[in-house]
Amino acid sequence: MFKKILIANRGEIAVRIIRACNELGISTVAVYSEADKNSLHVKLADESYCIGKSSPKDTYLNINNIINIAIHTKAEAIHPGYGFLSENTGFAKACEEFNICFIGPNYTIIEKLGDKSNAKETMKKANVPIVPGSDGEIKDVDESVKVAEKIGYPVIVKASAGGGGKGMRVAGNKDELINAIRECEKEAGSYFGNSAVYLEKYLDHTRHVEIQVIGDNYGNVVYLGERDCTIQRRHQKLVEESPSPALNESLRKSMGEAAVNASKAFKYNSVGTVEFLLNEDNNFYFMEMNTRIQVEHGVTEMVTGIDLIKEQILVSCGNKLSFLQDDIKSNGCAIECRINAEDPYNNFMPCPGQIDEYIASGGIGIRVDSAAYSGYIIPPFYDSMISKLVSWGRNREEAIERMKRAIDEFIISGVSTTIPFHRKLMDNKIFRSGDFDTGFLEHYKILE
């Protein structure tokens, strides 16, 4: 077992990892920017070190500083959380070079899966269904036009190193395609340092369903059910739930087994998420595999009772998985609402600032993952998430009603939040029916 872990992250995920470490008897080291000096993860960790001023580039993306602090504190492992360096091949490799365990998959796996176009080719060989598109990265505009004409418009241009909704454009004809490629290449180069893009058939009227997997170093891979992430705005998830209202047991098993096959094709050895598109005919297609813990992992924990962070740490220690596929049982329904410091009445504009009053919801079946408190100042340099509010019920209807109650209890003053949006969504008839697709928020104006 590790004696000390450095958490290379901030906010609620850093707090979440510290709590898991405490339960395992592991000492923790927090790193923080000057803007985060009063953050909760700094207060909760056994040791804490400032790594720079404010910008992500100088702090939570500063590999040298983080590695140096790990060496200085004699931390045996680094947990990257999500975002920042969590899927950075160079960081994972640097950890290995300095004999520090990177809590995640091997850097070679991150590298292979980080190249979305090449990952698709590997999935194809593993008999995992993929969306029709280009064979790898697009070499030039002429090639993209030929591919688009072959598979038919509309098409979607995607960054090979992309994620988080960045570097994506839909094109309905040749002119739009040429513009989309230029825009995606520029955006991808700016965000990911890699301007390569690839092409896929754009599938309309689809759901976004992801499968949670975990593998160990002994060839064991297990899937822990699905999360439905269909409620999105500009490819950014707003609400997640498990189980998906769209899946029956047969489809759930097929998708789960496909996710396991996908993981085994890469000899996957950590927690990961295989993301699929599901169409109206119940055909599913591989999108990408995320090689980190997801923001929404708590949804899976609520229905399975398995602590994914602790399992991830134990697997990285060299332990075998503590359960088999037959041990995984999904109980009830869990729904997560991301409470962000954004103004839902003003195009979800970010609203950093001081939280004057913060009183989180509670009661049976409610979980709140957060690093916020009364007086906390939300800095403008990072993402705007304040809390993850998760409700659990014996069925979907109870989970929704419990979420409504929890939203009504939640008090956050001083900054605008997405609470009004989520409260309206829980009463929306289409959402409650469970019959919707990723275009839901384009067709239904929740706050009008």
Beta bridge partners of 101: 77
Dihedral of alpha carbons 266, 270, 275, 281, sign? positive
What one-letter code names the amino acid at 440?
F
- How far apart CA 384 and CA 209 sit, in angstroms, is 24
Taking CA atoms, 2 is separated from 8, 71, 75, 317, 434, in Å, by: 16, 14, 8, 7, 43
User: Helix 11-24 and helix 308-316: axis angle, to 10°?
Assistant: 70
Dihedral of alpha carbons 66, 69, 110, 275, sign? negative
> Which residue carries 């929890």 as its tokens?
406
Phi, psi of 260, rounded to the nearest 5 degrees? -65, -45
Residue 402 known to be catalytic: no
Contact 375, 355 (CB under 8 A): yes
DSSP 71-92: HHHT-SEEE--SSTTTT-HHHH
What one-letter code names the amino acid at 404?
K
Catalytic one of 10, 227, 292, 367 = 292
Taking CA atoms, 81 is separated from 66, 353, 364, 394, in Å, by: 14, 24, 28, 30
DSSP state of 280: T
> Which residue carries 């590695």 as its tokens?
67
DSSP 299-346: HHHHHH---HHHHHHHHHTTPPPSS-GGG----SEEEEEEEESEETTT
- How far apart CA 399 and CA 366 sit, in angstroms, is 9
Contact 121, 132 (CB under 8 A): no
DSSP state of 386: E
- How far apart CA 408 and CA 400 sit, in angstroms, is 12
Burial of 423 (0-12, 13-18, 19+ CB in 10 A): middle
Burial of 404 (0-12, 13-18, 19+ CB in 10 A): middle
Catalytic site residues?
A: 292
